[in-house]
Amino acid sequence: MGVNKLIKPYIQALVPYSTARDEFTGEAEVYLDANENPFASNVNRYPDPHHKALRTELSTQRGVPLDQIFVGSGSDEAIELLVRVVDTAAAGVTIAPPTYGMYKVAARNNNVAVIEAALNPDFSLNMERIREASDTGSKLLFICSPNNPTGTQYTLEEVRTLVEAFQGVIVVDEAYIDFATGESAVTLLPGSDRLVVLQTFSKAWGMAGIRLGVAYAAPALVAAMNKLKLPYNVSTPTQQAAIARLCEAGRVEEERQAIVRERDRLAAELVKLPCIEHVFPSEGNFLLVRFKEAQRAFLALRDAGVIVRDRSNELHCTGCLRITIGTVSENNRVVGVLAGS
């Protein structure tokens, strides 16, 4: 099935809102078309609603055509738009818990049902359950790889299998791809117009505060998402900061390596501690850790001023806390507190 059939018909028929800057293309000396304040600053003009310069830089660096790149206010905007764009009338959105919470939030906020195709207890994909969800008519699947909170990455072969098993739009959320050893599913985009890959500036790129997420998808899906997004969804400072960051790949790479090094060191330190039962291998910038007494460990850390994420109520995550990799001294503090607790 082609992706066009998976997009709500009313959205395909929509004509995108035309901004003042759309009506006139080219360079002018005087802009009196958008009721802006004429006194110049970095932000007195509306931002580029098409994020042309930023998408061009992403296109060059990632090797993805311009019309297959959507830019939004964090991946969260892309997630929300995908829930609204894909025709979910027949059945709900399929997720594979334990996973990132925003897929369910976006579905619920839009009154869309959620089908849970739970992961196996070893955190691997349960293809049978995903096939069953597809058979019920679900047209949208969210997979997170590397997965938050489990830290597991699915192989490209598994993603290819997913595309066959699930007859709808398959979203692979790669928020943590830069920390992973496996390849990005972006390379599979030419093979299927039903595949979407999400990436973000919030993690390895160190820019959670600017709010910028990217969706790589078939041109028809990108066009549909662009029709529904608010015209000025990404501010000028955000677009500029992202372009500047893309041009300092060396520094990003150094930070990425430092985080991965610390992740592996912290894992090795934690497994030695008697309060810890298991440290799960991680392809992200966090560790999922099973404690003998998770609540006790959580409180000991909190009392020492260290906040971690309690995931003990998530499926297959009994007794587990998720610990983000910090600086060397922050990670040492975690070890110190837990060794003494």
CA proximity to 215, closest of 43, 118, 86: 86
End-to-end CA distance of the chain: 56
266 Rama sector, left if φ>0, alpha if ψ -120 to 50, beta otherwise: alpha
Tell whether residue 208 is a contact of ligand PLP (CB under 6 A).
Answer: yes
Residue type (1 letter), 176:
Y
Tell whether residue 178 is a contact of ligand PLP (CB under 6 A).
Answer: no
Tell whether residue 146 is a contact of ligand PLP (CB under 6 A).
Answer: no
> Which residue of this chain has its Cβ atom nearest to ligand PLP in the complex?
74
Instruction: Tell me how far, at minimum, the Cβ of 300 lies from ligand PLP, in Å.
Output: 25
Asked whether the beta carbons of 167 and 128 are under 8 A apart, the reply is: no
Tell whether residue 148 is a contact of ligand PLP (CB under 6 A).
Answer: yes
Instruction: Tell me how far, at minimum, the Cβ of 303 lies from ligand PLP, in Å.
Output: 26
Tell whether residue 283 is a contact of ligand PLP (CB under 6 A).
Answer: no
Tell whether residue 200 is a contact of ligand PLP (CB under 6 A).
Answer: yes
Find all residues with CB under 8 Å of 126, minimum gap 6, and list them. Answer: 96, 117, 118, 119, 120
> CB-wise, 76 or 283, nearer to ligand PLP?
76
Looking at residues 209 to 238 of the shown chain, list those that interact with ligand PLP (rule: CB under 6 A).
Answer: 213
Looking at residues 45 to 104 of the shown chain, list those that interact with ligand PLP (rule: CB under 6 A).
Answer: 74-76, 100
Tell whether residue 145 is a contact of ligand PLP (CB under 6 A).
Answer: no
Give the CA diameter of the chain: 70
> CB-wise, 220 or 234, nearer to ligand PLP?
234
CB atoms closer than 10 angstroms to residue 265: 15
Q: How would you list the strands of the sheet with 320-324, edge to edge?
A: 276-279, 286-291, 320-324, 309-310
* Contacts with ligand PLP, residue ranges (CB under 6 A): 74-76, 100, 144, 148, 173, 175, 200, 202-203, 208, 213
